[in-house]
Structure 1
Amino acid sequence: MANISVRHADFADRGVLITGGGSGIGAALVEGFAAQGAKVAFIDIADEPSRELGERLSKTARHPVLYLKADLRNVAETKAAVDRAAQQLGSLSVLVNNAGWDDRHEFETVTEEYWDNAQAINVKQMFFVSQAAVPHLRKAGGGAIVNFSSIAYLLNMGGLPAYATAKAGIIGLTKSLAGKLGTENIRVNAILPGMIVTERQKKLWLNDDSITAMVARQSLKRVLVAEDLVGPCLFLASNASAAMTAQTLIIDGGAL
């Protein structure tokens, strides 16, 4: 992973829960928090890569990295996983809502079933994960929630209306939760990534032409990768951003 030279001493031995942590951006975040000495748990539905990641990181991290399998579309299953994470970590101070589904889909072909599933994966679960985690953050005396949105809804992209709707909704959720939880010393902020090139993205959506076109649009003329989101997420979750809440942080290489 990218070398994160900034060390946040306040993460040492703190409980951190990350959703969608088994691969891609989520895996980079899991590794980044573990490297800071945090007690890290992550939820994912993809069993094999998640187990491999947890086992690999547990060999060198200060604390074992805990993988919990759950389908975040199932509210009861989600709550059980969050409670188990808090119990096994001993406390919970940071929640990173990273899980999502950036499936491409045409306006004319979207069915009611597809729409509901997309919202369940991208925004509904984020609310209920937060609802389950907040009592544990309260018990810890406060903490931080970092929600992952996307610049997709700002780009007028016609090929993913359900996804764009959900990612816009995450900003509303972030601001509402920040207003609700601020008096309890719980901060809520959002990260909006640009085009982050992962193996999954290259396999499903991206090719050399689309990557080149976005890099040309960016002020920073390089490909953005998952590790580019680790530092910003650590910042928002740490005491370095102690007075920051209800805000959005765009990490897109200057594309907007």
Structure 2
Amino acid sequence: MGEHSQQLMSGAAALEPARYPSLRCKRVFVTGGGSGIGADIVRAFAQQGAYVAFADRDAAASQALLAGMGDDSQALFIEADLADMEALRGAVQAAAERIGDIDILVNNTANDARHSFLDISSERFDELMAINMKTAFFAAQAVMPGMLRRGGGAIINLGSTGWKNKVAGYPVYAACKSAVNGLTRSLAREYGKHNVRVNTLTPGWVMTPKQLAQWVDAEGEAEMDRSQCLPGRILGSDIANMALFLASAESRMVTAQEFVVDAGWT
């Protein structure tokens, strides 16, 4: 990454996040919260004084996240392979037993592994469908009874600009992420009368450690400079800041919508 990009990212990271008193002591569940965007979302909610449970299969990364947050955080890690629906339900149940019925669900888990349309098998299709779409569906199903008991809640489904920008090389991922808006709008209509709000949060190209290690090169830097309306680089904290707003009382009349944080690329 170039020096100019590093300076722009450092400046953005130094910004103080907004404070949302309505999030204090809320019960939050984040799927795939051990690293990347998910970890930034976990940190952001914990800094607001929320009780945050997050599930991930990467125990090492998740424990490192907890250690970096300090003893004052109210974060709870639950080790689980969220592509396994029984493990997913068990993780939500374990979180509810520890912190209470969930107020806020952030469906963050995804796998953008590249795959060939002509070569992908039915078995691999099902694996990618499970982590990129099925997990979001059944996580929402698992938390919904608790939200109904509590008189409402907020579900934030993470989308992707990959399919909007017609990125080749991951057709199953693209299909799943385009379907997220359908899930969002359906649940928003069905459960809005119970004060459950459902929105899609769609990140652009976020500079996570994985993206920096695998995909961001000189060509990628030039593409971001050319395609984004805004200069700079998108950070996980930018996505987390939007998640905070969508979960807070300040967005109480916002539902069935998609919010794109991509610096104006799409």
TM-score (norm 2): 0.92
Q: Which runs of 4+ in 1 moved over 6 A?
A: none
For structure 2, the 5+ residue unaligned runs are: 1-12
The answer to whether structure 1 residue 225 and structure 2 residue 225 are counterparts is no
- Provide the C-alpha distance between the structure 2 equivalents of 1:87 and 1:195, rounded to a whole number of angstroms: 36
Answer whether contact 2:40 2:240 (CA < 8 A) is retained: yes
- Provide the C-alpha distance between the structure 2 equivalents of 1:91 and 1:2, rounded to a whole number of angstroms: 34
Give 1:167 shift. Answer: 0.1
> How is 1:85-234 mapped onto 2 (pairs within 5 angstroms)?
85-234=95-244
For structure 1, the 5+ residue unaligned runs are: none
- Provide the C-alpha distance between the structure 2 equivalents of 1:133 and 1:221, rounded to a whole number of angstroms: 38
Give 1:58 shift. Answer: 4.3
| Corresponding residue for residue 37 of structure 2 | 25
- Provide the C-alpha distance between the structure 1 equivalents of 2:22 and 2:259, rounded to a whole number of angstroms: 21
TM-superposition CA deviations, 1:168-202 (whole Å, max 9, x none):
01111111111111011000000111111111112
- Provide the C-alpha distance between the structure 2 equivalents of 1:33 and 1:4, rounded to a whole number of angstroms: 14
- Provide the C-alpha distance between the structure 2 equivalents of 1:97 and 1:234, rounded to a whole number of angstroms: 13
Give aligned pairs, total: 254
TM-score (norm 1): 0.95
Per the alignment, in what secondary structure is the counterpart of residue 192 of structure 1? strand
- Provide the C-alpha distance between the structure 1 equivalents of 2:17 and 2:86, rounded to a whole number of angstroms: 39
Q: Match for 2:230: what amino acid? A: L
| Corresponding residue for residue 44 of structure 1 | 56
Give 1:204 shift. Answer: 2.1
Evaluate the alpha carbon distance shift between residue 41 and residue 213 of structure 1 in structure 2; reply closer, same or farther with a 3 A threshold: same
Per the alignment, in what secondary structure is the counterpart of residue 109 of structure 1? coil
Answer whether contact 1:55 1:65 (CA < 8 A) is retained: no
Give 1:139 shift. Answer: 1.7
- Provide the C-alpha distance between the structure 2 equivalents of 1:213 and 1:115, rounded to a whole number of angstroms: 29
Answer whether contact 1:2 1:228 (CA < 8 A) is retained: no
Evaluate the alpha carbon distance shift between residue 65 and residue 29 of structure 1 in structure 2; reply closer, same or farther with a 3 A threshold: same
| Corresponding residue for residue 84 of structure 2 | 74
Give 1:6 shift. Answer: 1.4
- Provide the C-alpha distance between the structure 2 equivalents of 1:59 and 1:36, rounded to a whole number of angstroms: 15
Give 1:124 shift. Answer: 0.5
Q: Match for 1:211: what amino acid? A: E
Give 1:2 shift. Answer: 4.9
Answer whether contact 2:101 2:143 (CA < 8 A) is retained: no
- Provide the C-alpha distance between the structure 2 equivalents of 1:214 and 1:107, rounded to a whole number of angstroms: 26
- Provide the C-alpha distance between the structure 1 equivalents of 2:31 and 2:225, rounded to a whole number of angstroms: 28
